[in-house]
Structure 1
Amino acid sequence: MPTYLRIRKQRFMCKGCGKSFTARTPIVERNCFISNYIKVQILTQSGETRSIKDIAKETNVSEASVQRVLTAEDERYRPHYYSLPENLSFDEFKYASGRMAFEYIDAETGDIMDILPSKDSRFVTQHFLSRYSLKQRSEVKTITIDMNASYMSFIPTLFLNAHVIIDRCHIIQHINRSMNNTRVTIMNQLNNSNGEDQKKYRRLKRYWKKLLKKENNITYTTYTFYRLFGQRTEAAILSEILDYDSTLKAT
């Protein structure tokens, strides 16, 4: 149940210096209407998988008050500002109003070291220079990143001994995208009034996933009915598709 305390602010005067002061209480901070007990409850519940809206409803305060309590604690509690792991990972994500945030992570444990409100190179550089000494930054051995070229503008100057590792997921993604771009270009060239070219166009459009399939998973002996091909094996279909264009086959 919501509980309200009516507290009278008693004032005292020091007979020695003549100055007056107001009595304080551990129940609530000065100039604040939310008790310290409620703030503790907000922080405790924030450790669970709960939304700000649910926490506000449970503690009988507004959502803005919950956010202010969490923000104040976040500014005070910075456990990772005094050391860096040997293996870091950089990433970015989109948050409010389409803005991009920057985060650096312990690559071994997956713990988020910190989240910065901007991915701007100058902002990130200033953050590391102000928070970590040259000795701490020199102890970083590896930094895992995606294929964002902006990271390379500050990594060599901030982390002198770190080796840069490109995340393999992004490499595979880039290869798949390039393969699809080649296929679409050739496919569009076949989209004309010629009946034979139209058949090739439809086949490339329908079976594009087979071009990206792992070679070890391609069947060479199992015959299956495929639309536009008939009774074939996967290997036979791929062989015929790749013969449509030399550039596609080379890719």
Structure 2
Amino acid sequence: NHSITNQVRLRVNQLVRESLPVKTIAKLVGISSTSVQRIIYAHRHALIERRKLPRIICFDEFRSVHSMFSFICIDAITHNLLAILSDRLTKNITAYFLSHYSLSERSQVQKIVMDLNAQYQYFIHRIFPNAQVVIDRFHIIQLAGRALDQARISLLHGIEDHRCRNYKMLKSEWR
């Protein structure tokens, strides 16, 4: 059962990321479609395996198949994956945590680190009653940069002489 080389397995995993059908992958690589499915789902148990909830959890979304957004949840300390959900709908995220973890497990979560997505703030305290919401530093810095840029542009619009030194500094040499 181990006659398929590692190079073939790697190629199958590369083709899977391109969202090709199983039969097409099987024809391209030269193995059966059953073998392709076996390779794809070989490590699936690692994603489904139920783990204990850590004290600090990170929530985010990412662009996945067909430009849809998916939900990802990781341990903030070890960066281990806790869950990947196919969409970021509130009802699905809530159902996942309520069905997989007891209230006592969810109560032990102390902090949820997330971006400025207001959707998560509505249900976090319902799922994790003792959790404190923390905004991640990347989004705080991004927000501060946007505020500074808006202030620079408003000053720029107030200067009538486009040839003065202040205008040129705010226009092109602001970095």
Partners of 1:177 and 1:63 in 2: CA distance: 50
Query: SS where residue 110 of structure 1 aligns?
Result: coil
Quote the offset at 1:61 in angstroms: 2.5
Inter-CA distance 74–143: structure 2 relative to 1 (3 Å threshold): same
Query: SS where residue 134 of structure 2 aligns?
Result: strand
2:55–2:111 CA contact under 8 A, matched in 1: yes
Does residue 204 in structure 1 map to residue 170 in structure 2? yes
The 5 Å alignment of 1:1-251 reads 36-37=1-2, 45=9, 51-52=14-15, 60-61=30-31, 66=36, 68-73=37-42, 75-78=44-47, 80-190=49-159, 192=160, 194=161, 199-209=165-175
Partners of 2:105 and 2:76 in 1: CA distance: 16
RMSD: 3.2
TM, length-normalised to structure 1: 0.56
Partners of 2:115 and 2:174 in 1: CA distance: 26
List alignment gaps of at least 5 residues for structure 2.
17-24
List alignment gaps of at least 5 residues for structure 1.
1-35, 210-251
1:188–1:201 CA contact under 8 A, matched in 2: no
Query: SS where residue 109 of structure 1 aligns?
Result: coil
The residue type equivalent to 2:30 in the other structure is N
Inter-CA distance 119–70: structure 2 relative to 1 (3 Å threshold): farther
Inter-CA distance 195–117: structure 2 relative to 1 (3 Å threshold): closer
Partners of 1:168 and 1:136 in 2: CA distance: 27
Quote the offset at 1:74 in angstroms: 5.2
Query: SS where residue 37 of structure 1 aligns?
Result: coil
2:69–2:88 CA contact under 8 A, matched in 1: yes
Partners of 2:34 and 2:141 in 1: CA distance: 43
The structure whose residues are more often helix, as a share, is: 2
1:89–1:145 CA contact under 8 A, matched in 2: yes
Higher RCO (C-alpha 8 Å, min separation 6): 2
Fraction of identical pairs, as percent: 33
Quote the offset at 1:151 in angstroms: 0.9
